[in-house]
Structure 1
């Protein structure tokens, strides 16, 4: 979640490209390895939120989060996780460009992206849903982030041969324009309703029966993000000077955040929920940064992707134990994702067995700080198998390995 600048196709792993699967060997400051560093970093941030959903589920958060009722510590823990999916999907598109443009010359990526996308949809429906529900079949199948990454990869696989500039323009048009379509709705039970639910509105595709089916990650905005990531690929071409690449990333990041300040500051466009002055400075800040994630609003994407561009620029010259650890996680993204879900499922069962269920059938903690402690404690636990899998992947000739 090993790669030299030649970008060997066999090392492309997980739901996104893995340009630095040799993270423990190759310096983390290489132009491609930094992609895995950022990917690993957001995956570690994601762990805090998933531990929250394991041990603090009785304290629900809404979308957008209720500024007046949500404790600030819980709010900002959840807010940090908002950066994960956009950065993840953007790097998927960026890595797909690198796969399609190796040093030897352009190559088609349709088959690779489509097969990878179909695998992710399958994993979401079976293994991911079971991990969250703890039962099979679960009463509701949730179509979440792995599902939407898979579909976005399939779309990218079908269109990636179009001019890169055109793909970038379409991606930006979707990112900037989908908020203007939010008013549209269709009657449940119609084909138009099902299509629009998949594309832009959260809701049930199957609301009754033994197994329900609910879309929680609508697809359309994420197509925009993956196309934008693909169009950004030339920034990581071998011919791009590092200083120029960092200047481009900084300009893009600062530009996105300045535009966010303008649009959000005056409640012009890009977020359905206007910010308001609250009874304290902290809650006023909470109101300002409280953006819709499902589907991701323009303001949400400006905040997350703008910050992501700045972090990419800052990470590239860094090479230390932390960046190398992040690159190890980032070099096996699908392996890490499934592993951490099942570790958390096992943790919940162990805690119930040891201490009993204190929130319905679950065990939960009463404060947010234990969530941070548990997440930090799990990082080295997860690191060991991720590092071992990365080493196995470097030596194995089995085809399935590169998909994780």
Structure 2
């Protein structure tokens, strides 16, 4: 099983949900406040649907599994693009978790408060969820405990909680040092017999913590780079502050800042990756035609995420946040096409944890049902024969899952039960 539940991954956003709610309740300019928060919900909703596509691929196209980075000699354009799109999921959720922690600590009304207790509770909840609920949703049993995206988001929350009282300047320096410097650690490796192996596997090298016995434990998402991403998200929190951005002029300044961040990320990627200078373990090579060359350039390492991987994905997130706020959230006529699309995305983004758990178990049930009816047609797996079918199944599931997700989103808004906020 590939460990890209990244994407998908996602799901520090349940923390972002409550932080966004606190940030939006008392905003003085309610139209702009809702637009800004809705743009974050839309961003989360978009990557949730991309994650759904990737997990449908994992279920019904597993016989054409991809490596990391991908083996371009056996990867079609459709498979490459679908997998590349899924790269955006985990960076978006981890970064926005940091943003949301800052919004929670610096609410729009009242005095600032500490987010430490909130981060600790949510972080421990995510780690427990990964072990108890998420793992079994993939295989239907326990033979390997996969420490994947939910686990690493929880661990990143705990890291942010430990560092929450650092000055923002120090936090920024530490975040940049991790994100930009961790590729220097790639040559370092340890054998399972060495005492530091387990710590290094947790932080930087994907591998097994326990490789023998009834229950194996594998770290699929090394945590160190993601700790840097959540720190940078927290540092970027003031960009979305409703105290600082309460009128059209300041909203425009926020969008300008996000555009500058996006451009900076992509220009730096173009220079570092274009000249194969730094930031990726696998140099790109010219192919027989432009398509092959582009696939090689964007064939990036996710486990752990390379600097190039993070520059591309976070840059795309900054551009998308601007687009959502300008064209989907704060503009357009009621019932307009973009407004309807934006609303649909915000519904999925409003309860991402609920959607995450729901879609995994729906996919488990559908796969077992299909295999029972049709049998294994690709070795030990049941699978479809093209990526077109993967897109079709995803589209059907988006429509089918929208209604229970919308129901739960409305239920959550009106519920006074504390445990509901965790979903």
Under TM normalisation by the shorter chain, which class is it?
A: over 0.9
Match for residue 132 of structure 2?
126
Asked if structure 1 preserves the Cα contact closer than 8 Å seen for 2:17 and 2:351, the reply is no
Distance 1:70 1:199, change over 3 A: same
Asked if structure 2 preserves the Cα contact closer than 8 Å seen for 1:15 and 1:334, the reply is no
Distance 1:27 1:130, change over 3 A: farther
Task: Identify the range of structure 1 (366-375 vs 189-198) with the bigger mean alpha-carbon deviation.
Answer: 189-198
190, 203, 223: which is aligned to 2:194? 190
Alignment pair present for 1:155 and 2:174:
no
Q: With structure 2 as the length reference, what TM-score do the two structures score?
A: 0.89
Alignment pair present for 1:379 and 2:403:
no
254, 258, 262: which is aligned to 1:249? 258
Unpaired runs of 5+ in structure 2? 1-11, 25-29, 330-338
Unpaired runs of 5+ in structure 1? 1-11
Distance 2:210 2:105 in 1: 37
Please identify which structure carries the higher helix content.
Answer: 2
Match for residue 223 of structure 1?
227
Encode CA deviations 1:332-377: one digit per residue, 9 max, x unaligned.
Answer: 1111110110010011012122222213443210111100011011
Task: Identify the range of structure 1 (99-108 vs 339-348) with the bigger mean alpha-carbon deviation.
Answer: 99-108
Q: How does 1:53-72 map to 2 (within 5 A)?
A: 53-72=58-77
Alignment pair present for 1:101 and 2:106:
yes
Encode CA deviations 1:145-188: one digit per residue, 9 max, x unaligned.
Answer: 00000000111112112212221221111100000011111221
Deviation at 1:397, TM superposition (A): 1.6
Number of aligned positions between the proteins: 390
Distance 1:28 1:364 in 2: 45
Match for residue 330 of structure 1?
349
Higher relative contact order (CA 8 A, sep 6+): 1
Encode CA deviations 1:42-84: one digit per residue, 9 max, x unaligned.
Answer: 1111111100001000101000001122111111110110011
Match for residue 273 of structure 1?
282
63, 76, 85: which is aligned to 1:80? 85
Q: What SS class does the counterpart of residue 146 from structure 2 fall into? A: strand
Q: What SS class does the counterpart of residue 100 from structure 2 fall into? A: helix
Task: Identify the range of structure 1 (124-133 vs 181-190) with the bigger mean alpha-carbon deviation.
Answer: 181-190
Q: How does 1:292-331 map to 2 (within 5 A)?
A: 292-317=301-326, 318-319=328-329, 320-331=339-350
Distance 1:343 1:15, change over 3 A: farther
Deviation at 1:26, TM superposition (A): 8.3
Asked if structure 1 preserves the Cα contact closer than 8 Å seen for 2:18 and 2:421, the reply is no
Q: With structure 1 as the length reference, what TM-score do the two structures score?
A: 0.93
Alignment pair present for 1:364 and 2:414:
no
Q: What SS class does the counterpart of residue 142 from structure 1 fall into? A: strand
